[in-house]
Every structure is written in structure tokens, then in C-alpha cells.
Amino acid sequence: MTISPGNAGVLLRRRFDRRLGRQTAVVGVDGRFAGTWYDVRANAVQRWAESDLWLPASLTHGKSRLTIEVTNRGPVPWSEHRYRVATVRAPG
């Protein structure tokens, strides 16, 4: 994904189907651990939702591109329709 190199972190947003709850994944940025993404909610009626994961500046600052890897770690399938990123500007 392409980002602004002068960022103070990046917000990674996922649109997903929450028919099944307890979706869990491990996220990596450029080969480094970025966090565990967990969505407990399940809703078989209002299925589409969005969820965010904060990627700190220690993993993103000074870069114009990120390689993001999302690996399912839960007992249920990881649902992903699309991902988007938003960079947060560094102060000054």
C-alpha cells in the first residue's frame, strides 16, 4: 500500500462480513509484527462492518510503501472484502 513518508502512523481499515464472530488475525508490516486483530462481534443480519487497526509510526514513518500481511489465527475464517489506509500527519 502507498502512504505518505512523513506520517505519524497509519490507520488500516478492513471491510468485512461479520456473519461469524471471533475473527482473529496476526498482522505484519514489512516482515515485522504489527499486532493481533480481533473482532468479537457477530451479526448474521447486519453483516457488513468496518474495523480498524493502528499501525504505529515505528513501523511506518519514512516509508512511502508498506507490505502488509494478514494471517488468520482464529477458529473461524478471516473475512476481508477490502482494505484501506489513512496516514496520520506528523506534527509540524
Q: What is the pLDDT along the chain (92 residues), one digit of tens a residue?
A: 889 999 999 999 999 999 999 999 999 999 999 999 999 989 999 999 999 999 999 999 999 999 999 999 989 999 999 999 999 887 76
In a domain, residue 1? The reply is: no
In a domain, residue 11? The reply is: yes
Q: How many domains, in total, are found in the chain?
A: 1
The whole-number pLDDT of residue 91 equals 74
The domain of 26 spans 7-87
In a domain, residue 2? The reply is: no
The whole-number pLDDT of residue 90 equals 73
The whole-number pLDDT of residue 1 equals 83
Burial annotation 39-55 (CB, 10 A radius, 16+ → b, else e): beeeeeeeeeeebebeb
In a domain, residue 47? The reply is: yes
The candidate with the shortest Cα–Cα distance to 14, out of 30, 35, 31, is 35
The whole-number pLDDT of residue 6 equals 92
